Amino acid sequence: MGDEVRLLEEEIAAATGAKYAIAVANCTAALHLACLALDLGPGDEIICPTLTFVATANAPRLVGASLRFCESVGEHDLTMDPDHVEQLVNARTRAIMVVHYAGFACDMEALQALADRHHLALVEDCAHALFTTHRGRTLGRWGRVGCFSFFSNKNATCGEGGAIITDDDRLAERLRLLRSHGMTTLTLDRHRGRATTYDVVMSGLNYRLDEIHAALLRVQLRRLPDFLCRRREIFRRYAERLQGSPVTLPFAQGRFLENLETTGVHILPCLLPEGVNRDWVMARMKEFGIQTSIHYPPIHRFAAYDSVERLPRTEGLARRELTLPFHPLLSDAEVDFVVESLLASIRGGGSV
């Protein structure tokens, strides 16, 4: 955590408008630190979407908190449903883990109002939403803390890395201490003569980011505006080509389309028609030389989380979800080929 990390933190703070940015090892570390810094723990309930990567749910569990999973809004909006969140709030609820799925903003006005009304903390998982803005405010700054990922498949990457942003002085101090063993000074401070010793004021972790990853990421962030511009162009291309087809493209209408110019689109989820065998379609796409994936199996159905609750709306959406290729180097011709191959695969059969 030398000058490259310090400069990276300054650049992330400037890009987001946050008062503080704290670089960490990865986004899972960021989410864990956020839960620790907010004093979440046993006896607390945290509301979390089920349609997200499991790290969002693992972090509250690691501090001993319990989880309540919520539904997605619907086939045109895969983010968490504020109305269902409201139904889940009870006397034990302490926080909401907000996930901006695919880079598109949740209904933050509704979630913020709900959190204020019930005195809940908002933790924003912005792993998909690097520098997306909503109503002029960068995602990650609506809640108490925002957590970012720079993993190898993210919009800007250093292979593995993460960051936390906050405007809260006390939280920033706690996050910095928790990141590095609870130590009051760092090795570099002592090496450069800024300190001669240190104290340990809390039990902390080693969630630090190293100089090499920070240097790589600083270069990536300078290229990010062009990456995001091309991602938006590709999203529009997919939307145009899929319009009128039996495939549903979430986020391709309403407020999402209106705010596309300020959205850092991350993945391209689509929804297959009801009754189509997704495994068959994925195998057929592979024959065309096209990789597809799934984002995500619902967390509440994993063995480690197996819940008595059922979330039929999201379970139904998850069964139909298929993620198509989406990255800045895709050409328009390649997007067209993906769409043609997908529609041919669906026409070819594969009904359940």
* Residues 37-47: tens digit of each pLDDT: 999 999 999 99
pLDDT at residue 256, as a whole number: 97
pLDDT at residue 308, as a whole number: 72
Based on the fold, state whether residues 206 and 328 are members of the same structural domain: no
CA distances from 235 to 49, 171, 266, 317 (A): 24, 37, 10, 20
Span 243-256, average pLDDT = 97
How far is residue 327's CA from residue 319's CA, in Å, rounded to a whole number? 24
Span 70-82, average pLDDT = 98
- Would residue 130 count as lying in a domain? yes
Indicate the residue among 218, 233, 268 that finishes a domain: 218
Which structural domain range is residue 77 located in?
Answer: 3-218
Is the pLDDT reported for residue 352 higher than 90?
Answer: no
Based on the fold, state whether residues 163 and 228 are members of the same structural domain: no
How far is residue 287's CA from residue 276's CA, in Å, rounded to a whole number? 18
* Residues 275-325: tens digit of each pLDDT: 999 999 999 999 999 999 999 999 999 999 977 788 999 999 999 999 999
Q: Indicate the pLDDT class of residue 70, thresholds 50, 70 and 90.
A: very high
How far is residue 204's CA from residue 181's CA, in Å, rounded to a whole number? 4
Q: Indicate the pLDDT class of residue 108, thresholds 50, 70 and 90.
A: very high
Span 216-245, average pLDDT = 97
Cβ proximity of 162 and 30 under 8 Å: yes
pLDDT at residue 166, as a whole number: 98
Indicate the residue among 150, 185, 218 that finishes a domain: 218
Residue with tokens 């391709």: 252
* Sign of the alpha-carbon torsion through 104, 326, 287, 298: negative
Span 213-240, average pLDDT = 98
pLDDT at residue 307, as a whole number: 75
Based on the fold, state whether residues 170 and 275 are members of the same structural domain: no
Based on the fold, state whether residues 158 and 270 are members of the same structural domain: no
How far is residue 91's CA from residue 79's CA, in Å, rounded to a whole number? 24
Residue with tokens 């705010």: 259
Based on the fold, state whether residues 78 and 159 are members of the same structural domain: yes
Span 56-74, average pLDDT = 97
pLDDT at residue 349, as a whole number: 64
- Would residue 108 count as lying in a domain? yes
Closest CA to 36 of 149, 163, 140, 177: 177
Indicate the residue among 218, 234, 259 that finishes a domain: 218
- Would residue 352 count as lying in a domain? no
Based on the fold, state whether residues 276 and 247 are members of the same structural domain: yes
- Would residue 179 count as lying in a domain? yes
If one compares 150 and 307, the residue with the highest pLDDT of the two is 150
What number of CA atoms fall less than 13 Å from residue 88's CA on the CB side? 27
- Minimum mean pLDDT among 198-207, 244-253, 335-344: which range? 198-207
Q: Is 184 helix (H, G, I), strand (E, B) or coil?
A: coil
Q: Count CB neighbours of 255 within 10 A.
A: 13
The CATH number that applies at residue 233 is 3.90.1150.10
The CATH number that applies at residue 193 is 3.40.640.10
What's the number of domains the chain is made of? Answer: 2
Q: Count CB neighbours of 316 within 10 A.
A: 14
* Residues 170-206: tens digit of each pLDDT: 999 999 999 998 787 777 766 666 766 788 888 899 9
Based on the fold, state whether residues 61 and 206 are members of the same structural domain: yes
List of residues 6+ apart from 161 with CB closer than 8 A: 23, 24, 25, 26, 149, 150, 151, 209, 213, 214, 217
Based on the fold, state whether residues 191 and 265 are members of the same structural domain: no
Cβ proximity of 101 and 78 under 8 Å: yes
| Residue 159 region by backbone torsions, left for phi larger than 0, else alpha for psi between -120 and 50, else beta | left
Based on the fold, state whether residues 163 and 102 are members of the same structural domain: yes
pLDDT at residue 195, as a whole number: 65
Based on the fold, state whether residues 273 and 203 are members of the same structural domain: no
Spell out a b/e string for 160-182, using b for 16 or more CB atoms within 10 Å of the CB, else e.
bbbbbbbeeeebbebbbbbbbbb
Is the pLDDT reported for residue 122 higher than 90?
Answer: yes
Based on the fold, state whether residues 68 and 198 are members of the same structural domain: yes
Extract the runs of DSSP E, i.e. beta strands, from the chain. 20-24, 45-49, 66-70, 72-74, 77-80, 93-99, 121-125, 133-134, 137-138, 145-149, 162-166, 268-271, 321-324
How far is residue 80's CA from residue 72's CA, in Å, rounded to a whole number? 4
Based on the fold, state whether residues 173 and 29 are members of the same structural domain: yes
pLDDT at residue 1, as a whole number: 80
